[in-house]
A and B are shown apart, each in its own frame.
Chain A
Amino acid sequence: MPGPHRYCVLTIVICLTSPYLSYAMSGHDMHHSEQKQEHAMVYNDAGMVMNHNDSDLPFDCKKISRDYAFTIHAGVAYARDFPGTVFGMDQREITVDPCSRITITFVNEDQVRHQWMLHGLPKYLYDQGMFTLEAMGEHTQSGTFIVPGDDKTYLVHCDLPQHMEKGMKGQLVVGRGSGDLWSIPGVSREFRQQNYLPGHAALIFLLAIMPGITASLIVFARCGKIKS
């Protein structure tokens, strides 16, 4: 593990090489049982790290281009600046070079679980294409991963039900990225937009029509006079 874990008392690494175990972990979905590569879930008192990788290079990288370290704070406190969200992170967009090695230190300031879960990594290196840090309430978790060489924007979120929907969403931009994702607080709007109209919106519309009609009538009347 890179860097000391403040809460790391007991660390157990279990490699899920058996297709049966992997099947059990993925519930009833059959196709994951076919994947036989190793992936590691590391459990510690702070929570769980999945698919930590500080040495295996993606196929399209000859060497590690650069090392990054980010500390990300999470909790309801970071939702305050974004109306209509409840959960949040202090950094919702991270930009890195292709083939770089990234160490995330995830500081959970709430008293409930949160996750920093990344999707879209190559599946030959990361089981289910994921890298995950899970931090128990008021705990800090860290881990490392290496990104491939192509320009791509990766989804980062907390997978607790409704946490992403209510604000815990971000993106990792590798190189020039591949376009912003939707509904990232401070970065992009939601795709399915709400109407924030007052209850008497129809009345307002009607009130606006009347001056419109009056103005038009006046203009038409004047024009008519000029001609005649």
Chain B
Amino acid sequence: MSRNTWIWGTAIFVLLISFPPQWYPEPVRLQLAAWFGADAYRALPESAQPSAVKSEIACPEDVLGWREAQEIAGVQIRRSLNCVADDPYAVAAFVRGTNNIPQSVLMRSGLTQDAIVKGRDLDNDGDPDEIHIRLEVVELNGASPDTDNLTTQYAIAPGIKPGLWVFVPKMTGMATKNFESLQARSLLRLPSPVIRIEQGDHVFITLENSHYMPHTIHFHGVDHPFQDADGEGNDGVPLTSEVPVMPGQARTYDLQPRQAGTMFYHCHVQSHVHVMMGLQGLFIVEENRPNNWLQTLNIGAGQVRYPSVSVKENYDREYDLHYQDIDRDLNNRIQKTNDPRLVTKSLHRDYNITTASSEYFTLNGKSFPYTFRESLVIVKPNETIKLRIVNGGSSGIALHTHGHKATVTHRDGVPVQPNTGIVRDVFWIAPAQRLDVKLETTNDGLHSYGEGVWLLHDHQGKGVTTNGIGPGGNISAIVYESYLKDNGWPRTFGVSWDPYFSAAYYRKEVPVWQSYAENLSSEVTFDGWLILRLLGLGVAAGTIAALLILQFQGRRS
């Protein structure tokens, strides 16, 4: 026999024996089984050994004592029971005004002296009614021309840092915690701060556009004139009222709202992009009361540590809840290039929101498990709690209160008829819609089923995930104080949360039940035998192809 015949024979033999049996058509397999019987037992591939997960500390220690109830510059600041609290010095500055506090308090707040200026008492009822707020625009998790490290970093969940734009109070000094750190200061975060003013206040809001793109502020639902006294645009809409505030420029909006209610504010420049980048916040007009000093800003929303007089009349506690969703394909565009011209084109021309979908779902600028550090609704039995909720996302949310049925008192800042107050456990909130919800913790089987750690989340499946990995998204909880540890972390009785505090978990590297069912959780190792067969198959097929080509050429010549 010639050498070629040997090669042909060997190649066809290897091809046949290495062809994986599971790839034969079913009739062939059945016929083979009829002739030779079932295949002999071979153990399935081994389970992979679970890898050790490096987890962050769930509840960092409150070294600076920010959670304590304290008096600063004459302001009685309530205790914050959540693990991570707002800076009480900033709270004091927001209540008294940055022009009315001792220099030492102002310095520790990090704000400028003109950040929140409180002026005259126009109606002589013991509180200031001229309020001048100065806001800057900050980019979080942005690009650098020199490194792949993001600038002014802010994580919404372990390892997750989408590009964001936010309104922030005017502050002094460094944007990061120090020169060595890349972490944004606590004042710089998602969401943009909640603005709180009193009905009838004369409010000036200066937008100091410190960002590299044009922006405006539009007051959604807040009573404001279309043009101010000087005939300048006051509605924040580039199409109809004014040219946007360009980088390096400032504009002052002027309003005196006649109606109270939970409203909204946002940038209106290319709003399908800029609002979703994070330029949006709650705007709350409180009812006018004597001696009603307000906490003008609530950084990162959440618990109101200095509630208004009118809220205190009817409620034991107040929480601002700001829901958002993030399409990382949009938000991460600012990280891909540093040239503002390329960023501008990428955001406003290449990105197409009509084919977009969101991956991240946040409550007060964080996704689970970070929501549990600072956005728990903490309650005691027989209390009445005010929740002010906005959906700043691109689609509706179906907010579900485990263990409670609560009452809608206002929709879009307008009271609902007293006797038609809607008691329910799922609240549908359209984009930009606000609900004021009265949560009663009376254990009557309707308003509350008793004490516990009761989840609070969007009931749409995607809302409780982070890019499809659960638990994530906007999961938070209504937690009774009896279920709260001293450090503000809830006592839970279920699975370990360690995996959720690791970036690896949200990179999909941790098997789903690894922490509590190791044998069930494991991923499967490779089938080495099958890979060997595939290699043999490939080599044999290649040899046959080469032989065919040689033969074809031989015939031609």
Contacts and interface: CB of A to CB of B under 8 A. Distances in A.
A38 to B, nearest CB: 15
Contacts of B181: 27, 29
A161 B188 contact: yes
Given A27-B183, A119-B179, A161-B139, A48 B145 contact: no
Contact of A183 (B60, B145, B212, B341): B145
Nearest to A41: B107
A132 B175 CA distance: 13
A165 B177 contact: no
B151 A134 contact: no
A166 B334 CA distance: 12
Q: How large is the interface on B (under 10, 10 to 19, 20 to 34, 35 or more residues)?
A: 35 or more
Contacts of A161: 138-140, 142, 151-152, 175, 184, 188, 210
A137 interface: yes
Interface string A24-51: 1111110010000000010101011010
A166 B172 contact: no
Contact of B248 (A83, A110, A191, A192): A110
B105 to A, nearest CB: 11
A75 B143 CA distance: 21
B211 interface: yes
B146 A162 contact: no
Interface in B121-168: 136, 138-140, 142-148, 151-152
A190 B145 contact: yes
A1 B6 CA distance: 97
Contacts of A28: 60, 63-64, 177
A194 interface: yes
Contact of B338 (A112, A113, A137, A190): A190
B208 A183 contact: no
Contacts of A160: 136, 138, 175, 210
B342 interface: yes
A87 interface: yes
Given A27-B185, A113-B112, A162-B212, 4 more contacts: A14-B103, A24-B108, A86-B247, A162-B139
Interface of A: 12, 14, 21, 23-29, 32, 41, 43, 45, 47-48, 50, 75-76, 83-87, 110-113, 119, 128-130, 132, 134, 136-137, 159-163, 165-166, 182-183, 190-192, 194
28 contacts: A12-B103, A14-B107, A24-B108, A25-B107, A27-B186, A29-B178, A43-B113, A83-B341, A86-B212, A86-B247, A87-B247, A110-B248, A111-B208, A111-B248, A111-B250, A128-B178, A160-B175, A160-B210, A161-B138, A161-B175, A162-B211, A166-B338, A166-B340, A182-B145, A183-B145, A183-B146, A190-B145, A194-B337
